[in-house]
A = this chain, B = another copy of it.
Amino acid sequence: MAHSLNRRKFLQTSALAGTALLWSPPIKANNHDIANEIGKSKWDLDTPALCVDLDKLEQNLKKVHTRLAGTGVGVRPHIKTHKCPALASMQMEAGALGVCAAKLSESEIMLGNGISEVLMTGVNVTIPKIQRAMALRRKHPGFIQAVDNPQNAQDLQEAARATGIMADVVVDIDVIRRSGVMPGKPALALAQMVDKMPNLNFRGILAYDGGVQHVKGFQKRRERALNTFEPVVDTYEQMKKSGLNLEIFSGGGTGTYDIMSEVPGFTDVQVGSYLFMDCQYIEIGGANNETEFDDFAPSLTVMTTVVNTNHPGRLVTDSGAKALTLNRPTAWVLGEPDFVYNAGSDEYGTITFEKASKTYKVGDPLEVIVPHCDPVVNLYDKIYGIRNERVESILPILARGMSQ
């Protein structure tokens, strides 16, 4: 194995030797024993390793549809969470209307890997990017783009005309002063402008309230979500009165998935974290459990290894901020409720505790729930699909690092 690893690495990387000028796709040293990893116990994986429990994942995939059945609200999962075409396929098979992507490069990866319906929630604002987006739309009729200002609408129209296509567009409405056109008149005017443009096809609106998703306590979250959304709903009503096509009214997330059906005309929730869950979401509480949001099962974990036990009440692991990010609350160690995990150091995690279920020694594996799933997944190239504690599949995170 050692020999073939070195040989393969040499063959794969020799093109690079002596020059930094030409780009070649990253060569990963840890590809060498992938074929041997299927069937391996998750406790034997080299760490840090990102894992998803497939039973829990499949349960979550179904649960969001079961829970929303009969509400009139569909599901358009946001792939910014997992960046993985294989998981997007599973979401489509489970009944999603399509998926959302945050960035153009993510959209390219999804559409290029078998996902036919992609709504890009971010706007493309530079001409080269708009041209790339239109080329993507020419190839993939299921690609829908967002727009949030009049100049951008004109740029989109011009690029669509130059590409010789009709491009599907939704207007993004400002909810938390981050993206979107202001609700009310500006949004209505923009929608009407888009609707009249010869090469743009107005499909509806989106509005994402990122601020409310992690409000603790279901009723508190519900009230804030509905209050904050009032200007958007007013805008929707005005657009409807004006005769605009509003087949899409998209928004919401895992924190509000069971609240958005109260919004008139609302068509689909952009859930992402429901698939994995994480410490941040578990803490917010759900409709049926005020202290723990347990509608979805925490399926995503990182396997880590104890590397130092020199100091009492303290364990050092091989998973720091480069494996878990700096998000808070920090990682929870499964089976060790008293452990406090600090991932503030880049390369090392430090656990402090007063009580432990056993005496840990150097080399022992630990499994942790991650602080915030989206940016953690973005650190890894693959997710191990685990069933009954063994590796059943390996899911490449093909859109990892695609922040463009």
Contact = CB atoms under 8 A, between A and B. Distances in A.
Interface of A: 1-3, 5-6, 9-10, 13, 16-18, 20-31, 34, 38, 44, 46-49, 80, 85-86, 89, 102-103, 105, 108-109, 112-114, 122-123, 125-126, 128-129, 131-132, 135-136, 138-139, 148-149, 151-152, 174, 177-182, 210, 305-308, 310-311, 314, 316, 318-319, 321-323, 325-327, 345-348, 350, 362-363, 374-375, 378-382, 385, 393-404
Contacts of A139: 2, 6
Contact of A85 (B16, B123, B125, B126): B16
Contact of A2 (B86, B138, B308, B326): B138
The number of times this chain is found in the oligomer is: 2
Contacts of A149: 308, 310, 362
A15 to B, nearest CB: 11
A141 to B, nearest CB: 13
A363 B126 contact: yes
Given A48-B404, A135-B5, A177-B310, A86 B20 contact: yes
Contacts of A131: 2
A338 to B, nearest CB: 19
Nearest to A308: B179
Contacts of A347: 80, 102-103, 122, 403
B400 A26 contact: yes
Contacts of A346: 80, 102, 374-375
Given A179-B348, A379-B403, A396 B26 contact: yes
7 contacts: A13-B112, A20-B395, A23-B31, A122-B318, A179-B308, A321-B325, A379-B379
A305 B126 contact: yes
Contacts of A1: 135
Given A9-B112, A80-B346, A347-B403, A305 B125 contact: yes
A181 B23 contact: no
A3 B132 CA distance: 10
Contacts of A18: 114
Contact of A25 (B25, B47, B326): B25
A113 B46 contact: no
Given A346-B374, A362-B149, A30 B404 contact: yes
B38 A21 contact: yes
A113 B345 contact: no
A86 B210 CA distance: 40
A394 B23 contact: yes
Given A13-B112, A362-B151, A30 B177 contact: no
A399 B13 CA distance: 12
Contacts of A400: 26, 401
A24 B25 CA distance: 12
Nearest to A400: B26
Given A80-B346, A180-B308, 5 more contacts: A16-B85, A16-B113, A16-B396, A30-B402, A178-B350
Contacts of A398: 13, 16, 26-27
B403 A113 contact: no
A26, A44, A314, A319, most chain B CB atoms within 10 A: A26
A347 to B, nearest CB: 5
Contacts of A135: 1-3, 5-6
Contacts of A327: 326
Given A322-B378, A375-B321, A381-B26, A21 B129 contact: no
A267 B376 CA distance: 37
Contacts of A307: 122-123, 125, 179
A122 B306 CA distance: 12
A396 B151 contact: no
